[in-house]
Amino acid sequence: MDEILRLINIRKWFPVQKSFLERLLAKEKLFVKAVDGVSLTVWRGETLALVGESGCGKTTLGRLIVRLIDPTSGRIIFNGMDITDLRGEELRRLRRKMQIIFQDPYASLNPRMPIGEQVAHPLKIHGLAQGSELRDIVMKTLEQVGLTPPEKFYNVYPRALSGGQRQRVAIARAIVLKPELVVADEPVSMIDVSLRASILDLMLMLKQEFNLTYIFITHDLAVARYIADRIAVMYLGKIVEHGPSELVFENPLHPYTKALLTSIPVPRPLKEPKRVELKGEVPNPINPPLGCRFHPRCPIAGEICRREEPELREAENDHYVACFYVT
Ligand SMILES: Nc1ncnc2c1ncn2[C@@H]1O[C@H](COP(=O)(O)OP(=O)(O)OP(=O)(O)O)[C@@H](O)[C@H]1O
Ligand SMILES: [Mg+2]
C-alpha cells in the first residue's frame, strides 16, 4: 500500500489565556492539550474516519494536517516529504494538494460572492486558469457536484441556496484544484438529515473519479460506518483504537469504542452485545488524567491504568488498541 500521509507524535497545545494577575500568580503555564501525541499513517485512496466525542481534538488534528495551524511538536509527512515547517510559497503550493471542507456551509462561503466566482477563486489564486477556460472548468465542476444546470447556479449568491447545495459548492471549491487529500470536517452534520446520504454518495463518487484520499471527521458512527475504510477513535487528544472499519465495528477492542458503539443503533449485531455505559463527563483537556486518560470513565480500569499510559499496539492484524486489558 502506498502511504500518502504520516503523522509522527503530533501535539497541539493551546496556551490558556489568563488575566495579568493569574499569570503573575500561576506557577506554571497552562495548556489545552487538544492533540497530545498522535501517530498515524493514511494510505492513498482510502477514507479514514476520525471519530470521538465533542472536544476530543478531531478538528484540531484536521487543521494540523492541512497546515492551517502549526503543531507544538511532532512531524507531518505528506507524499514522503516533511511538510511540518513549510512556509510561504512552498506552503501555498502544498495547499493545492490538500483541501479542507468545513462543517458549516453557511459560514464557509463568502455571502457577497456568486458561487461561480467562489469556485473559480482557488484556480485564480494558483494561477491555473483564466478567461473562458476558467469558466469552463468551473461549469464542469458545478456539474460534477450535482449543481445542474451549472448556468443556473453560476451567478447565484449563497443565500439563495439550501444547506445541502452550499455544501456542494464547498465540495466543488475543494475538488476544483484536483487535490490528493481532502479533510472533511463533519461535512454533513449541519445538513438536513434527508439530504445527508446524497452528499455522502457524492463524496464517494468524487473520490472514485478523482482518486482522492479522505480524512473524514465525524462524531456520527453511522456516518463513519457508511463512508470509511478505516476508523481511528480519538479520546482526549489521543488515538485509542484504529483499524479497518469492519474490524472496529464488528470487534471493538477498546472499552471507549465499545461504549461509543453501544450508544448508536448499528445495522448489524456486534459480537459484544453487552451494553457498556459511559460514566461521567469528558475530563478537562488542560489536565488530562494521569495514566490512561480514559480510566476515570472506564468500566474495566485496574491499578495499572491509573499509573501508566497504554501505548497503541497491534492486537489483531492491522487492528490497533491502547488498553492494558485487551488481550
Ligand atoms: N484555538 C483554540 N484555542 C484554545 N483552545 C482550543 C482552540 N481550538 C480548540 N481548542 C480546544 O481544544 C479541544 C479540542 O477541540 P476540537 O475543536 O479539536 O475538538 P473536536 O473533537 O473537533 O470537537 P467537536 O466534535 O465539538 O467539533 C477543546 O477542548 C477545545 O476547546
Ligand atoms: Mg470539531
> In the chain, what percentage of residues exceed pLDDT 90?
81
Residues 15, 29 contacting (CB under 8 angstroms)? yes
- Whether residue 182 is predicted with pLDDT greater than 70 in this model: the reply is yes
- 156: in domain: no
Per DSSP, the three-state class of 7 is strand
Q: Whose CA is nearest to atom 6 of ligand 1?
A: 14
Report which of 145, 134, 146, 319 is spatially closest to residue 245, judged by C-alpha positions: 319
- 281: in domain: yes
CA distance 325 to 327: 6
- 17: in domain: yes
Q: How many CB atoms neighbour CB 291 within 10 A?
A: 18
CA distance 195 to 110: 22
Q: Whose CA is nearest to atom 10 of ligand 1?
A: 34
- 145: in domain: no
Q: Whose CA is nearest to atom 28 of ligand 1?
A: 55
CA distance 97 to 191: 26
- 203: in domain: yes
Looking at the chain, list the stretches that DSSP marks H as alpha helix, in order from N- to C-terminal side.
Answer: 20-25, 58-65, 88-95, 115-125, 131-144, 150-154, 163-175, 193-210, 221-227, 245-250, 255-262, 303-307
Residues 222-279: pLDDT tens digits?
A: 999 999 999 999 999 999 999 999 999 999 999 999 999 987 655 544 454 455 667 7
Cell numbers given for 202: 457524492
Q: How far is the CA of 83 from the centre of ligand 2 (A)?
A: 23
- 155: in domain: no
- 166: in domain: no
Q: Provide mean pLDDT across the span 33-52.
A: 97
What is residue 273's predicted lDDT score, i.e. its pLDDT? Answer: 45
Residues 56-113: pLDDT tens digits?
A: 999 999 999 999 999 999 999 999 999 999 999 999 999 999 999 999 888 889 999 9
CATH number at residue 304: 3.40.50.300
Residue the block writes with cell 512556509: 87
**Length of the chain measured in residues:** 327
Where does ligand 1 bind, in terms of residues with CB under 6 Å? 14, 32, 34, 52, 54-60, 219, 285
- 102: in domain: no
| Number of domains comprising the chain | 1
Tell me the best of 58, 60, 100 to mutate to test the pocket of ligand 1, counting ligand atoms within 8 Å of each CB and taking the most: 60
Q: Provide mean pLDDT across the span 28-45.
A: 93
Q: Which domain holds residue 262?
A: 3-97+179-321
Amino acid 144 reads Q
